[in-house]
Chain A
Amino acid sequence: MIPELGQFALVLALCLALVQATLPIAGAATGRHDWMALARPAAVGQFVFVVLAFVVLANAFLSDDFSVLYVAYNSNSNLPAFYKFAAVWGGHEGSLLLWVTILATWTMIVTVGSRSLPEKFSARVLGVLGIVSFSLLLFTLLTSNPFDRLLTPIVDGNDLNPLLQDPAMVIHPPILYTGYVGLSVPFAFAVAALLSGQLSQDWARWTRPWTVSAWMFLTVGIALGSWWAYYELGWGGWWFWDPVENASFMPWLASTALIHSLAVTERRGLFKSWTILLAIIAFSLSLLGTFLVRSGVMISVHSFASDPARGVFILMILALVSGGAFTLYAVRAKHMVAEGGFKLVSRESFLLLNNMLLVVALVVVLYGTLSPLFIDALGLGKISVGPPYFNSMFVVPMLPLVLLMGAGMHATWVGMKGETLARKLAIPAVGAVVLGVLLPWVIFGSAGVLTVVGIVAGLWVIAASLFDPVRRMIRRDGARTLTRAQWGMTLAHVGIGMFVLGVTVSTSYNIETDRAAVPGDRWELAGYEIVFRGLRDVQGVNYAAVEGEFELRRDGTLVTVLTPQNRVYRVQSSPMTEAGIDARWYRDIFIALGQPLGDGVWSLRVQFKPLIRFIWFGALVMAFGGLLAASDPRYRSTRAESRVSSAAAVSVETS
């Protein structure tokens, strides 16, 4: 009886979403206050019922209710409780419910956070969110109902995919979805602005913290996924340009561009229609990502069994939501004219270039991801695009982006003299070049041209970001005058620099060997001695494993013992490799146990990865910067205060 309650709650939520999607927008158009006033209670009610449905499904998992088809497919009574809860989003239906739940949560936060906004504007924003929610709820109920029953209940379930039985996988989907779905808020703000036909600088100020928050979750979510892939399935790779990875990366690129163009729109009233367009593109890419993952058109570790009906439905949602927004944009955007101009050397120019380069990067990824689909659809053969395409092409826009980033932070709004900017940047630039050339030679004894370029670029961004704050701190003349948003920007850029260093160093000096070894073997790797001590059998809760024992020694002293495992999960009898990793901030040593080769010999993959932690740590630093920026008090202030404070902030920056 209880699962039916969940389904009933979803139906009620669908009805409330329909109210939220229609009446407030109609009310804003006709000026009927009572219709506009319906937006908030409808959103709150929808939130309550969607959460109720989610709780009902979670309860079905935790209480092993295998009469529910979805539970029977994705859980097992022997699964640890922690993973039973995570199994709620382990398959298609539940992850869709998670999507809807997170959308309802964002909508709920918007209802609370938009009280100080004009009545018509907030009614439209909530109305647009209602349209999105309505389509996704309808999709869930018609094609992917997680509460469907099994006619003949089974004794025990099929178990959660062993790949997903991992702590990082428990939190990766919710965090990534929070970022994905969060982009619906700037989208709704953009459509609301288009509906009203007006776009003030206040609009940009309202939109910024929402965009940055969503971006922050997206950053952490992508980093978690990459980290998981590294130790769980990648055999040491951290990014595969897999279509589903790209699907999450494209909204990231678009929202990064959006954050920067919003800054220009808020401060200078420029780039207005471009900002709107980016907000629409960013969320459309989120929806496209959902389509790619859920329709089964892509071959990937992430895709669930394919069902063409679902793909068609999501395409229809995409056509309705994104197509509608783009049409509205085409009709209305010409009214959003920018006033004022800027000089060649100015913050605006740098941000314009930032947007150009990010869009180029986005097009590179989009083209490489979608063209195999179109070529297949046209019957021209089955192809896939190799990672070398992405690796080489992605650097083309990224290198200038990173180099310009360091300078752009120090450029003032409206315009400045080129020499002034050059003088400001001389010390970090010279420092980065000298260190970038010297360090790899001193530490690794050799360096290729690209390696040096990458290291210089990474150090340059870090030095240029930190130079000013550090100098102010040393002189004690007011590092505190930096606002929280400015600290946020500084840290986010430092994170980019760390990421660039991590990628460059770990790819350039990575040592990767496959070898056949028997217990007792010892060999040398990057100055360490590795000793293969032996093998033993290990019994886990729901798996059996062979565990290898490896000693890691340096100059004769034991550093650590690594215990990679080769697991077989009982229910699905599927094998899984658990790598043994000794992780330090400056390097990883990675051992994965392959297969027995006969005569007690095992195949091993052994790797040395210097500075690879900087890839994920850099992403976390970026996200922390986002947190600081989004929580800047300026965004919480009411309209009257904000004019004063933003004027003050402008005068601080230009002084």
Chain B
Amino acid sequence: MTPRRQRMLLIGLVVAGVTLSAGLALRAFQENLRYFFSPSQVVAGEAPDARLFRLGGMVVEDSVSRESGSLTMSFVVTDYVHSVPVSYTGVLPDLFGEGQGVVAHGRLAADGSFVAEEVLAKHDENYMSPEVADAIARAQESTAE
């Protein structure tokens, strides 16, 4: 091969590789998008039925309950307008608590409750996750109207 053809081959391979990875990247990206919904949006039926999504809001006081000695528990998430019951099996993060912000990742069950696969409480004590704060503000605006 002449150096020129070698270079063309190299460039061709690189372009093919980049195109392939870009295609794969976009597909993986589409599949892994996690949409965020507030309890009001879930009650209004805007959240998908089968797909995973994230639900965020505040944990209602006195709503956390569990069978004694079991890892399975349930609580209610609210944006102070509508509420959604959530069930979860596993270890909770440190900052989870009643009256605190929470983001749960999971999907809707047939009865309209939310089955969480993962529960996040990543903010600190005096800091509400911006997504949660935004969801609450929007829900309250819509009732004020």
Question: Which A residues form the contact surface with B (CB < 8 A)?
Answer: 161, 163, 233, 235, 296, 299-301, 305-306, 341, 343-344, 349, 352-353, 356, 360, 364, 367-368, 371, 381-389, 392-393, 396-397, 400, 514-516, 518, 572-577, 592, 594-595, 597-599, 601, 603-605
Q: Which residues of B contact A371 (CB under 8 A)?
A: 29
B7 to chain A: which residues have CB within 8 Å? 344
- Nearest chain B CB to A410's CB is how many angstroms away? 19
| Chain B 1-39 interface mask (CB, 8 Å, partner A; 1/0) | 101001101100010011001001100110111111000
Pair B91/A235 contact, Cβ less than 8 Å? yes
Does the CB pair B95–A575 fall under 8 Å?
yes
Closest chain B CB from A67 CB (angstroms)? 21
Given known contacts A367-B29, A389-B28, A382 and B10 CB-to-CB distance under 8 angstroms: no
The 8 closest A-B pairs by CB, nearest first: A389-B32, A594-B91, A386-B32, A382-B36, A598-B68, A601-B69, A344-B6, A514-B90
CA distance A243 to B134 in the complex (A): 19
Contact residues in A for B1 (Cβ distance below 8 Å): 344
List, in ascending order, chain A residues with CB within 8 A of B18's CB: 356, 360
**Interchain CB contact (< 8 A) of B91 among A352, A384, A601, A603:** A603
Say whether B31 contacts A383, CB under 8 Å.
Answer: no
B130 touching A597, Cβ below 8 Å = no
**Complex Cα–Cα for A598 and B70 (A):** 9
CB pair B24 A381 closer than 8 Å? no
Give chain B residues whose Cβ lies under 8 Å from the Cβ of A393: 21, 24-25, 28-29
Chain B residues within 8 Å of chain A by Cβ, number: 42
Task: Give the secondary structure class of A's interface.
Answer: mixed
Contact indicator B32/A353 (Cβ below 8 Å): no
| Shortest distance from the beta carbon of B9 to any chain A beta carbon, whole Å | 7
Instruction: Please give, as numbers and ranges, the residues of chain B lying within 8 Å of A576 by CB-CB distance.
Output: 94
Which of the residues A299, A305, A360, A392 comes within 8 Å of B129, measured between beta carbons? A299
A489 and B127 CA atoms in complex are apart in Å by 45
**B34, A384: Cβ atoms under 8 Å?**
yes
Interface residues of chain B, those whose CB is within 8 Å of chain A, are: 1, 3, 6-7, 9-10, 14, 17-18, 21, 24-25, 28-29, 31-36, 54, 66, 68-71, 89-95, 122-125, 127, 129-131, 134
In the assembled complex, the Cα of A397 lies from the Cα of B93 at a distance in Å of 34
Q: How many angstroms from the CA of A341 to the CA of B91 in the assembled complex?
A: 59
Taking a contact as CB atoms under 8 Å apart, the answer to whether A385 and B34 are in contact is yes
Tell me whether A599 and B68 are in contact (CB under 8 A). yes
Across-interface contacts of A360 in B (CB, < 8 A)? 17-18, 21
Measured CA separation A381–B31 after assembly (Å)? 16
Q: Nearest chain-A residue to B135 (Cβ)?
A: A382
A574 touches B125 (CB 8 A): yes
* Nearest chain B CB to A236 CB, angstrom units: 10
Residue contact B92 to A386, C-beta cutoff 8 Å:
no
A352 to B95 alpha-carbon distance, docked (Å): 47
Assess whether B91 is in contact with A605, with CB atoms less than 8 Å apart. yes
CA distance A235 to B90 in the complex (A): 12
Are A516 and B21 also in contact (CB < 8 A) when A305-B127, A575-B95, A577-B94 are?
A: no
Q: Are B14 and A598 in contact (CB under 8 A)?
A: no
B55 shortest CB reach to chain A, Å:
12
Q: Which A residues lie within 8 Å of B89 (CB)?
A: 514
